[in-house]
Amino acid sequence: MDIGFIGFGEVGKELSKGFSKYDVNRIYAYDPLLIGSDSEKLSEATEINYVEKAEIVAKQTLSILFVAVPATKTVEAWSEISDVVANETVLVDLTTASSQEKNKVNEMMSDKGMTIIDAAILGALKVFQNEVPILASGEQTNKFIELGYQIGMNITKLNEKVGDATNFKFVRSIFTKGLSTLLFEVMASADQLNISEEIYESITSTMDKDDFGEIISRYIKSNVKHSQRREKEMKNVSEFLEYHHIEPVMTKATIEKLKNITQANLESKLQDEVDDWSTVIKAYNQK
């Protein structure tokens, strides 16, 4: 199997290390920062060839072509190869471009009789390399999974709509990045007030008691009746932090979200018919 990369930063390098353990003969890579680099052996079976133009990669007889350029270069990168890439090659977009941009690319490739796969990386490349969890959407996803299985990839199909894998990753990032920054504000505040160990024990004890699915449901449903009271409480918390010269960034964001929830009049809409968290969210989105 031969594989190509347009853009060969961390994504390409880590995936290639993993691919070299499988039946991959050649990896063709184009990256403007690597022009002129000598070919190298990644393993006894796998050689990587650095080329001077993206078109040279696209013209090869490849099983899979990955585009892994910076998000701002996505449309440009696909435009450069759209006229030369082989129809039988599975085209995979690994960029962090928006779903709108990926759909623009897919429309452009559709005019050439091809379609791309939107692939979102959901784990640490340096840890998992080719086995990193990837969520994919697009018409050719089943073929991508079939080929990926042969080289140790961990691909899950979301659906056949380009852009949905990216949307999934972006929404999931609200939680992962939001939680990390929230915890940063909590623990930094606790440390400044010399109660970090106590706060840590309290939070972990609370979160370890129940299944996380139950926590999600309880936290969302409880805002139906208590968002207005919590908004007032968090204003007090914000003033408290500012008094201690701690910037309440996440705290202020919480106040704004609670205000939005209160303004949605969920208690009036639902009239105590709160079966699960999804009922609450659907009512909120109908505001």
* Last residue in a domain, options 160, 189, 210: 160
CATH number of the domain that residue 129 is part of: 3.40.50.720
141-188 pLDDT, tens digit per residue, is: 999 999 999 999 999 999 999 999 999 999 999 999 999 999 999 999
Backbone φ and ψ of 260, nearest 5°: -60, -40
Say what the pLDDT of residue 182 is. Answer: 98
For residues 137 and 237, membership in a common domain is answered with no
For residues 121 and 16, membership in a common domain is answered with yes
**Residue 37 · residue 96 · CB < 8 Å:** no
Element (H, E) at 143: helix 141-150
Say what the pLDDT of residue 196 is. Answer: 98
CATH number of the domain that residue 188 is part of: 1.10.1040
Give the separation between CA 126 and CA 20, rounded to whole angstroms: 15
Query: What residue numbers bound the domain in which 200 lies?
Result: 168-285
* Last residue in a domain, options 109, 134, 160: 160
101-148 pLDDT, tens digit per residue, is: 999 999 999 999 999 999 999 999 999 999 999 999 999 999 999 999
Give the separation between CA 269 and CA 49, rounded to whole angstroms: 62
* Last residue in a domain, options 132, 160, 188: 160
**Residue 62 · residue 41 · CB < 8 Å:** no
The whole-model pTM stands at 0.90
Give the separation between CA 264 and CA 275, rounded to whole angstroms: 18
